[in-house]
Amino acid sequence: MTGITFTRHEGADAAAQLDAFLAAYEEVYAEPPYYEGPRDVAEFVDHYQVHTRRPAMRLVIAWDGDEAVGFTYGYFLLPETRWWHNLQDVTLSEEYMREDGHRSFAIIELAVRKAWRRRGVAAGLHAHLLDGLDAERVTLTVRPEPEADPARTAYLAWGYRKIGTSHPWEDAPLYDCMVQELPAS
C-alpha cells in the first residue's frame, strides 16, 4: 500500500467530494455483478447527496497521488430505519432492531478500483472509516454472487458475520447483510 493516503470528510465537506471519487464509482460498478450504466450512476449521485445529510455521515477516499483509487462511506442508522426489516430469511428481536441514531453504523459503499485491489487499500479505507467511531456495531451488505466473494472474504476476516438476506427496495437485488460487533469504548 506504499504511497496510498486517506482523507476523511464529514457532512457538507463530504458532499463537496463527490466529483473526487465519482470516476472510481463508475469504474467499479460497471463491473460484474453490478453492470451499472449512466442511469445507475445518476441515481447514485442523487442518493449520495441525500446520504451526506445523515447524522455522522463519514466519507473516506483513498488516494494514489492525486488519483482517487477507492472510497467508502456510511452513517448511523436512525430510529425509523428499515435496515433490519428488509431482511427476508431471519426474524430479529425488536431489541436487536432498536436504533437510537448512535447504536449501529451502516457502511453504504466500500469500493476499490481494480488496479489497486489486493494491496490493503480496502482494509485501510475500512479502518479509517471506523476510526474513533462510537457505536455498538457496524453493518453492511454485499452481493451474494461469486464476483463479490473477495469482498465477502475480506469482511469475514475483519470480523463480520452474515445475519440474513436483505432486499432493501422493490426492484433491488438480494444482498447478504453482515454485522460486526464493536468492543465497548
Per-residue pLDDT in tens (0 to 9) along the chain, 185 residues: 679 999 999 989 999 999 999 999 999 999 999 999 999 999 999 999 999 999 889 999 999 999 999 999 999 999 999 999 999 999 999 999 999 999 999 999 999 999 999 999 999 999 999 999 999 999 999 999 988 899 999 999 999 999 999 999 888 899 999 999 998 76
Spatial distance between the Cα atoms of 12 and 66, rounded to a whole number of angstroms: 21
Spatial distance between the Cα atoms of 127 and 130, rounded to a whole number of angstroms: 5
The domain containing residue 23 runs over which residues?
4-181
Number of domains forming the structure of the chain: 1
Under a CB-based contact definition with an 8 Å cutoff, are residues 168 and 88 in contact?
A: no
| Domain CATH for 64 | 3.40.630.30
Q: Hey, what amino acid is at 14?
A: A
From start to end of the chain, where are the E strands?
Answer: 4-10, 58-64, 67-76, 104-112, 137-142, 161-166, 175-181
User: Within the chain, how many helices (H) and strands (E) appear?
Assistant: 6, 7
Spatial distance between the Cα atoms of 131 and 52, rounded to a whole number of angstroms: 18
